[in-house]
Structure 1
């Protein structure tokens, strides 16, 4: 049986999604879970291969110690899932390091480019996210889960999830 340990490791984000209800998210660097905090948690709760660790934020890939934190989690044998907007994963080297240590990476898509950028309120976020998705697929497609956030904007744009997957030759391990 799994225990699920959910870590919001920061409140920093490089998007400003219109649906985000966290008043702290965006560029608040005052809240970070540090590597030493993780070591303390691992010892206190005796985290093991029977556990599932979910890493979120803000945007967890913007945490300065993320890869070190994931290394600590990885040593426990626990299942590791990272929820990310995928933008930083356009850096192939960074993406490769992350993919090697986690079991699954969940990346949201909000629709076609203009809808996605409108929802994230960041021009170019769609292109960054797609580049990150491609890098994950190139490294290990079985670790990618695409999460389509269905909104009125997506529906009105005639965005088709099936066409999106087919046209981009995406074969993630799962689609939510």
Structure 2
């Protein structure tokens, strides 16, 4: 599968404390990539054999031509994945219109209640809309494969298991991704106050995997070294990650353009410290975030032995 990731929107009602796109959203505040550019890129990459499309942002569903984009992607035989905060999916009319053209949706969910979720999105009412979205999706999802992405922070760490169970019960999600705080945008600004120490994360792994298995959900962990996952290293997203091409707005020397980036491994802002060189999983694991090593050191990184 050849993956194309298009950043089509730089507008979002949420202002998540860990938003990795925070700097981009400030730089291109409220901007949308033109429909013409999006459709031209869809055609261009389809001719090159790309067949999986990720639409992201910002909030991609806010793009004024979102429906035309996904309908055109369907005509080009893309498998279409949308990353969303769920806001527009809270409207039944929106769901009825777009779901037939979508294959996969990943919803951002960061708590099992409004107090917790809204405190991290900094958008009162965002949880209520997401809960309505879940109800709408559950009624009519059909072939739609539903993912849930939970960013693990010091604030929601004790409630991750409850959040997984909520996702399974509310929207029948098939896969949950537990993401470490990525040190980009707001995530970098708030890294020290939000990032979960690796040894703390390791204490919760068993209960999280158990909860997902009981609910018949796949679970993956992003941005967490495989050595931290230990016996659960098989659930690392690094082991399932596939190369992709990203197209996003960029600005350089006063000029705005669409930048194309090819990513072959899940190593963005991640490094391997010296002792990683003797790890049996060094060719699969993406390493540890460089910001984490700068802030907390590499003492928690313990290589897997070859034996």
Which category describes the TM-score, using the shorter chain as reference length? 0.7 to 0.9
1:164 aligns with 2:186: no
Which portions of structure 1, spanning 4 or more consecutive aligned residues, are displaced by more than 3 angstroms? Answer: 46-50, 156-159
In the TM superposition, what is the alpha-carbon distance from 1:165 to its structure 2 partner?
4.2
CA contact (8 A) 2:135 2:170 kept: no
Distance of 1:96 and 1:54 partners within structure 2: 20
1:89 aligns with 89
Deviation digits for residues 18-44 of structure 1 (CA, Å, limit 9, x no counterpart): 111322326822x32222112322333
- Work out the CA distance in 2 between the residues paired with 1:59 and 1:162: 22
- The whole-number CA distance in structure 1 between the counterparts of 2:165 and 2:11 is 33
Q: How many Å apart are 1:96 and its aligned residue?
A: 1.9
Q: Which runs of 5+ in 1 are unaligned?
A: none
Match of 1:103 in 2: 103
Does the C-alpha gap of structure 1 residues 126 and 3 become closer, same or farther in structure 2, counting only changes over 3 Å?
Answer: same
RMSD of Structure 2 on Structure 1 (CA):
2.2
TM-score for the superposition, normalised by structure 1: 0.87
Q: Which residue of 2 aligns with 1:72?
A: 72
Count of residues in correspondence between the two structures? 173
Q: Is the 8 A contact 1:47 1:76 kept in 2?
A: no
Distance 1:98 1:5 in 2: 20
**Which structure carries more relative contact order (alpha carbon 8 Å, separation 6+)?**
1
CA-to-partner distance for each residue in 1:129-169, whole Å, 9 max, x for gaps? Answer: 11112211211164221222222111245761354246x45
Matched-pair contact (CA < 8 Å) for 1:49–1:78: no
